[in-house]
Structure 1
């Protein structure tokens, strides 16, 4: 059996390096807009589907509910979102993107394309399609493994 590894030639985990470099680049490009990648993704989800429950938003972003709550606190303090009681469940809040959030989402969209362009430079389209298919399967495998624990 062939030995498989997620380590690159310098013995650093390649997946973590890619994610870390991508996050660093995202955050540096968003810094002039006083926004982090995580905050921006919250707004992207809400602009796509406004009025999500905090717990549903955390699930979609694959993060803990306490983490989403802190992100929403920061965004709410800056006037991008507001929490409202869920009319169907008083113990739950729904989160709504406000008008300024749409402008940030436009910036996020441009930033996504810019980072993707930088990350995929010199890689043939067929290789990218294969890589994305493989990475999606790996993500699903890991998600399934987590859910079985």
Structure 2
């Protein structure tokens, strides 16, 4: 009997996060914090709501995580000029340096995860996973 694709993807993601956390343990960074900060880095001025949805965490959980990153001097909350109730997230220079220092571990993790695959297979895998993600992100619950 073959495994359902959802189980396979979920189990793979869990194992990937566990291995990433082990590789970056000395940094004090978790895979969830890495994802949060990489997302903010790719779009400085991120808002809490969409970020919580992207990370699949409750807004209060995200707020607590951001509080810790603010206290650590890694993230700044700035007022949103378009909405005085909202705050936008920006990385500090310290965060950019930390992300840069962790990048080699992230690259080693990706290498380990795709060990034994040719460069063409790796490219194909990324393309297929992106397409699955795109398919799922467009779907409304049935």
Same fold? TM cut 0.5: yes
CA drift at 1:62:
4.3
Task: List aligned pairs for 1:80-95, cutoff 5 A.
Answer: 80-95=74-89
Q: CA deviation at 1:6?
A: 2.6
2:56 corresponds to 1:63: yes
SS of structure 2 residue aligned to 1:82: strand
Distance 2:41 2:127 in 1: 27
RMSD: 2.4
Deviations 1:69-113, CA, capped at 9 Å, x for gaps: 232122112111121221210111111211210122113321221
Q: Which residue of 2 aligns with 1:10?
A: none
Q: Which has the larger radius of gyration?
A: 1
Separation in 1 of the partners of 2:32 and 2:101?
14
Q: In the alignment, is the contact (CA less than 8 A) between 1:46 and 1:96 conserved in 2?
A: yes
Checking the alignment, whether the CA contact within 8 Å between 1:46 and 1:97 is kept in structure 2 is: yes
Point out where structure 2 has 5 or more consecutive residues left out of the alignment: none
Q: What is the CA distance between 1:148 and its match in structure 2?
A: 4.7
Query: TM-score, length-normalised on structure 1?
Result: 0.80
> Is 1:17–2:11 an aligned residue pair?
yes
- The answer to whether residue 56 in structure 2 is matched with residue 41 in structure 1 is no
Corresponding pairs, count:
141
Where in structure 1 are there 5+ consecutive unaligned residues? 8-12
Report the Cα distance in structure 2 between the residues aligned to 1:133 and 1:102, rounded to whole angstroms.
28
CA shift in 2, pair 1:148/1:6, >3 Å? closer
